[in-house]
Amino acid sequence: MKIYIAQQNYHIGNFEANTQKIIDAIKAAKAKGGDLIVFSELAVCGYPPRDFLEFTDFIERCNQSIRLIAAEADTIGVLVGAPSVNERVEGKDLFNSAYFLYEKEIKQIVHKTLLPNYDVFDEYRYFEPAFDWNIVEFKGRKLAVTICEDIWDVEENAMYRLQPMDMLMQQQPEIMINLSASPFDYTHAEDRLAIINKNVQRYKLPIIYCNTVGSQTEIVFDGGSLVADSKGNVVKEMASFKEELSYVTLNGSGGFEESVIRDFSALPAETLNPSTFQPELNIGRIYDALVMGIREYFEKMGFKRAIVASSGGIDSAVTLALACAALGAENVHALLLPSQYSTGHSVSDAEALSRNLNNPYDIVPIKDIFGQVEGALKPIFKDLPFNIAEENIQSRIRGLLAMALSNKFGYILLNTSNKSELATGYGTLYGDMAGGLGVLGDLYKMQVYALARYINKDKEIIPVNIIDKAPSAELRPDQKDSDSLPPYEDLDAVLYQYIEHRQSTPAIVKMGFEEAMVSRILRMVNMNEYKRNQFCPIIRISPKAFGVGRRIPIVAKYLG
């Protein structure tokens, strides 16, 4: 049996484009003698559709797409993900389903059993779990069809009360097929291999795992679809961050005709959420994910050009380089906004960066504008000393000017705040926290430095002085980040334990960190939740990002 795997990039709610993409893949597979083609979870509507699922019209358009796709499923079987209606009165109105289409008909609908309701997932908000389990019989073969999370609960500390594969094994299937929409994080490729391996070891069956690819606002999908035989050998591993149509041939004995690529014996012992912070870990994957995240956000929203407030600092430099890689240098405008507190090398470094990248830039000094604002406020501020108010005025002037160009020329402002700054509140609302997309908001400062070195791996793109100099907001004379924050090496290590591992102050102190510093850092994180609540979408590259996947009360006392 020749089975095609369609690793595709969908656009949420773009039924015409999604349906045509699916049909094109079916036609390609048919032309090459395919018996069955597998698509990913909720392929018809895109994942995650969220509250669109509450619109009756949205579900009807899903159904219309299924009918169009079924018309192409004549000589080939099709497994494709879409929501389906729960005909029972009891329970929620929808299932997250896999449609089996053949001979131009809906032959069978398989429902997802395990509905994740953690981190970025909220499927139990919309879907009813499956209440029965049946294999799909096709051309004399018995297929155990599951959907994403259905194969992930094979740990000793199980999250759910039952495993759908345990139920399906009672019907003696020959192969597992999983339709997935599993988001990227920088350790996820290892996690995916480990889960596939555990399923193979547990059920002694080969598996086809079809994942989606692309980016949906903050969530990136890296693809990486794969096929493993019943002995735990990988026989097919598809590209990361790219669409691909590939196939395997299932032979009569339940194996594959394809050669073994590798086995699972070399899997690292520690995969999900490494116990210690490792800034360099999988930095190349992070680069690819961020470039895809930017490009997809612009393409799917219909945007063409970006603007970045380029300060001569590490964060704006990395953001600018990523944006040029994603959108083309000609479509990324750098705006240099020096103040009287900016050092000369900040401007020259930012200019050198734009020359290296070959992107357009302008310089608009803000000293005079700041002076006018100071003069306007003097009757109210009187002779009070210079403090954070004046610092934030400068930042907000920069935000105002960047947004002025955004409005005038149709640019989308890319925010440059990193995770360390967002965690501790080291940023100005409506100033340097302005933007349409947070590019670095899920990277700690030390990861930003690692990414800068990765960008420079072949040649100097980001001037070395930007990487080597002490970071500063340059909002007062001789200002350094270290005036307000602990050293980033310590700060990031503590933040990682608190945010990614949800460790308390005593637990982090036991790891060797000074108690006063830990208490101070955690207090900063919690007292600045209100700032993050107003922040733009952040491209998610870690197992625990700020945004929809981390829900902390704004008004709270715990650890604050």
- The residues annotated as belonging to the active site are 41, 112, 148
118 CB burial (10 A radius; 0-12, 13-18, 19+): exposed
334 sits in which H/E element: strand 332-336
Q: Is 417 annotated as a binding residue?
A: no
Q: Is 339 annotated as a binding residue?
A: no
Q: Which of the 8 DSSP states describes residue 223?
A: B
Q: At which residue do the structure tokens 């099709």 appear? A: 78
Full strand arrangement of the beta sheet holding 262-263: 136-138, 141-147, 175-180, 207-211, 226-228, 233-237, 262-263
Q: Is 316 annotated as a binding residue?
A: yes
**∠ CA 65-83-542, rounded to 5°:** 110
Q: Is 312 annotated as a binding residue?
A: yes
Q: Which two tokens stand for residue 103?
A: 């001979």
Helix (H, G, I), strand (E, B) or coil at 129: coil
Q: Is 421 annotated as a binding residue?
A: yes
Determine how β-strand 305-309 pairs with β-strand 332-336.
parallel
**Contact assessment for residue 327 and residue 294, using Cβ atoms and an 8 Å cutoff:** yes
Q: Is 311 annotated as a binding residue?
A: yes
Q: Which of the 8 DSSP states describes residue 46?
A: -
**Contact assessment for residue 112 and residue 150, using Cβ atoms and an 8 Å cutoff:** yes
How would DSSP label each residue in 461-528? -S-HHHHHSPP---SSTT--GGGTS--HHHHHHHHHHHHTT---HHHHHHTT--HHHHHHHHHHHHHT
Q: Is 224 annotated as a binding residue?
A: no
Nearest to 489 by CA among 278, 332, 313: 278
Q: At which residue do the structure tokens 């693809």 appear? A: 223
The dihedrals phi and psi of 394, each to the nearest 5 degrees, come to -60, -45
| Sign, CA torsion 259/4/231/148 | positive
Query: Can you list the alpha helix ranges (DSSP code H) found in 238-313?
Result: 283-301
Q: Which two tokens stand for residue 443?
A: 């990277």
Q: Is 392 annotated as a binding residue?
A: yes
Q: How far apart are CA 350 and CA 314, in angstroms?
A: 10
Q: Is 315 annotated as a binding residue?
A: yes
Q: Is 147 annotated as a binding residue?
A: no
| Sign, CA torsion 269/275/280/286 | positive
Q: At which residue do the structure tokens 């060797």 appear? A: 512
Query: Can you list the alpha helix ranges (DSSP code H) found in 382-457?
Result: 388-409, 419-424, 445-455
Q: Is 118 annotated as a binding residue?
A: yes
Bridge partners (DSSP) listed for residue 505: none
Binding residues for ATP: 309-316, 416
Annotation: binding site for deamido-NAD(+)? 392, 421, 531
**Binding site residue list for L-glutamine:** 118, 182
- Binding-site sequence positions: 118, 182, 309-316, 392, 416, 421, 531
